[in-house]
Structure 1
Amino acid sequence: MKALIFAAGLGERMRPLTNTTPKPLLQAGGKPLIVWHLEKLAAIGVTDVVVNTSWLAEQFPEALGDGSRWGMRLHFSYEGPTPLETGGGMLKALPLLGDAPFLTVNGDVWTDFDFAQLPRQMHGDAHLVFVDNPPQHPTGDYALLDDGVVRPEGERKLTYAGIAMYRAALFEGWREIIGAAPGAELSPPKFKLPPLLVAAMARNAVRGTHHTGRWTDVGTPQRLAELDASLVP
């Protein structure tokens, strides 16, 4: 199995910490946030991990090497000085990810979710992990129904955890789906992933899992400090 770690963000809300260090390389519990993911990915047998980069991109291979310390191969997908957003970044990385379903995780989250719970045999084009809505995002993102189907709207919307399984087929017809969205005309294109997910939901091609354990969106220096303190033995 292959995986993609989103690590290209500018980390603007984390300044001044991210003035000199990209957010996924900030430390919590004695190691960089991205290393927590790499260890968990290695534990379930992931052999190749693509890390998309932009801000301070040169620091990632310097800090992580080629992945051999975790028994995997690391590949770096550089997006240029301006990140391509989630959709554009994933599209650019697809040649490195192949046609089989692949795992994705945001480089700026921390969780005790076991990646082994993600389906190896997928139904549809995406399988998303959700968490209860945190204080900073009280309205949630999508509705997870009792049968595991995901809808754009519903009685109780949950927050996307930044962890998922995808098929490359999600991007079929992506230009028609996003239309004239700003950045779509660029090469490589820059666009967000949610419009493709909503289109997939319309054809019943998105499923989900509700994780009720620990999860943190490390979006501010305060949340990073709180996470770090909670991980100290």
Structure 2
Amino acid sequence: MWYWLFKYILLGPILFALGRPTIEGAQHLPADGPAILASNHKAVMDSFYLPLRAPRRITFLAKSEYFTGTGFTGRFQRWFFTAAGQVPIDRTGADAAADALAAGLRVLGGGKLLGIYPEGTRSPDGRLYKGKTGMARMALAAGVPVIPVAMIGTEKLNPIGSRWPRPAKIVVRIGEPIDFSRFHGMAGNRFVERAVTDEVMYKLMQLSGQEYVDIYAATLKKKASASADRVPDTRAG
């Protein structure tokens, strides 16, 4: 119930006013049955505008930190993501990959649409980064199509580090479903999973128009953080 209240009454009208979102390729979304929506990830608002324009409900795998906060903000955040039907996963433990796979397969097993960001984290600079193979593992194990989704303009509405959204034009561009049935029975083969992932990322590059970078975004962020830590403080006093 809360999902639809947020979409049409509590939050949706505000998002429409801010982003004037349009959707292209909506005919590629299946009317029923399970599928994976694999999206680029430029801003937090990606997780708001994609469900806003998709006619069917989308379930995202959300990091468990959204459900473990304290204080008023933590309690509100936990309530919001739980009410919206998002599924928490722990991305830090030794069994993180297996837990995420199991959670995703439960969603798909229920005939739902599962939203995934193959890059694993937001792009630090607007470019498209190498995809992680968890998405491919789920698609092959569940035998479902992968539908590429390009979110365009969200980084202008919700720049990294900004506290408040800024009006901008948002476009949700849906690509044709990719059928990986030719790899039936090959789930767990890391070479096949990499091939599946790279095919999806290539489609995302075409849909979004982003420059592709063949490294993981998380790796770049770690290098940038380590470099910042090594810079000496030369300020007087």
TM-score range, shorter chain: 0.3 to 0.5
TM-score normalised by structure 1 residue count: 0.37
Q: If each structure's helix is expressed as a fraction of its own residues, which one has the higher value?
A: 2
Larger radius of gyration between Structure 1 and Structure 2 = 2
Q: TM-score under structure 2 normalisation?
A: 0.36
The structure with more strand, counted as a fraction of residues: 1
